[in-house]
Amino acid sequence: MTIAPRPHSDPKRPSLRWLIEYTDPSGKRRRKFFRSKREAQLFASNLQSEARGAGLEAASLSPAERRAHVEALEKLRPYNVSLLDVVNAYVAGREREAALQHRPIGELVEEFIGALATSNLRPSTIDSLTSELGHFCRFVGEDQPVAHVGEEDCRRYVFAAGASPRTSTNRRLRLSRFFRWTLKQGHVLANPVEAVERPRNEAPRPSILSPQQARALMESAAELAGGKWLPYVACCLFAGLRPQAECERLDWSDVDLAARTIVVRSGKLRQRRVVEIPANAVKWLASYARQSGPVAPEKKRSSTTLRDVREHAGIREWQADVLRHSALTYRLALTGDEARVAQWGGNSPGTLHRHYRALATGEQAREFFDIVPDGSGELIRFGSAGEEAEAQA
């Protein structure tokens, strides 16, 4: 290979009068400028010496190695990247992998759960993560290095036989949260859950109580255990509070029966909202209201459970959140105003339209919101347009 300097002229850089053009070892075209011909010739001589050395090295390659080299260059050409760049990136990746401490997944799960204790997560969230990750550790082996847990391990766990789409979705979310943490801590090179496809969930049609079942449930709540479950049931069934996220955290100091409002201070996504209490719910709550204290009974101290209440009412089928689903369904059927009902229930109008529309009639809704304690007198209830109207109980 002959490399010769040639004259160069550039008004912007008049001192650079000589030019060398050459191809570097990675295959890229290069240009270098010099002040004098002697400097250019010396650089060219060094390049030729290096080329001769490289030629001797290339000559020592087997025919198969030379063909592989040429093929690799051809494949990289459309991407404007050199073979050396690719090799360097590969070696850097292997070096990063070798530098990992390869700590057991069981050990890191304990660290992760410990770190959550100082976070602002709710105890129920931490408990669900602890349980899920414990199952996953046993699935892959607690002594398995976390860096060796791969995409296929996660996929087999997420979609294990018998897992419903909702279960698979929750598993994927919890695993991903853990592996994002391990990635941030430098224990893995990538989050293996990201490559696991998202389960396809088909939302089931919400189950609701009929007006007759709702009345039986309220009467049962009033009869059992001195009525300790009645405020909880009334707030969920008629005011549409979320049972766990809202009603179980509700304090009587946030319930104003005179103003007919409940202040939810820590609802879904921890957003505060003010809920209007239907008139029939006010009548049910009036005899139980206190200045302060939890509205819901403490489960660990109560010998009577919500299951006892609904079984005493003769209700056998019970879908999660059926109380709240009933409240939203009947209020939407009564008012027909998706936007106002969505604001009342802490949902989006789209969610209301997809899941709750046309599940009940206006007549059923009026019967539902007419449910009051026996002998409680007149009732002020919602009108068909969302306004207040008088009716006889």
- 379: pLDDT confidence band, cut at 50, 70 and 90? low
Ordered structural domains, the chain, with CATH: 6-99 (no CATH), 105-195 (1.10.150.130), 211-391 (1.10.443)
Q: What is the per-residue pLDDT across 277-293, written as a single tens digit (0 to 9) for each?
A: 999 999 999 999 999 99
**CA-to-CA dists, residue 156 to 141, 146, 173, angstroms:** 14, 16, 15
Query: Which H/E stretch holds residue 132?
Result: helix 123-140
126 close to 116: Cβ distance less than 8 angstroms:
yes
Q: For residue 318, which of 212, 164, 247, 213 has the smallest C-alpha distance?
A: 213
Residue, of 209 and 302, whose pLDDT is higher:
209
Name residues whose C-beta falls within 8 Å of residue 229's C-beta, 6 or more positions apart in sequence: 221, 297, 304, 306, 309
Report the phi/psi class of residue 247: left, alpha or beta, with left for phi > 0 and alpha for psi in -120 to 50. Answer: alpha
Sign of CA dihedral 282, 283, 289, 293: negative
Q: What is the per-residue pLDDT across 101-152, written as a single tens digit (0 to 9) for each?
A: 688 999 999 999 999 988 878 888 899 999 999 999 999 999 999 999 999 9
Average pLDDT over residues 365-375: 91
The answer to whether the predicted template modeling score (pTM) of the entire model surpasses 0.85 is no
The pLDDT value recorded for residue 333 is 94
**CA-to-CA dists, residue 141 to 14, 159, 174, 266, 334, angstroms:** 70, 18, 18, 38, 55
Q: What is the per-residue pLDDT across 167-212, written as a single tens digit (0 to 9) for each?
A: 999 999 999 999 999 999 999 999 999 999 998 876 667 899 999 9
Q: What is the separation, in whole angstroms, between the first and last Cα of the chain?
A: 104
- 84: pLDDT confidence band, cut at 50, 70 and 90? confident
Beta-sheet pairing, 261-264 with 255-256: antiparallel
Q: Which residues pair with 308 in a beta bridge?
A: none
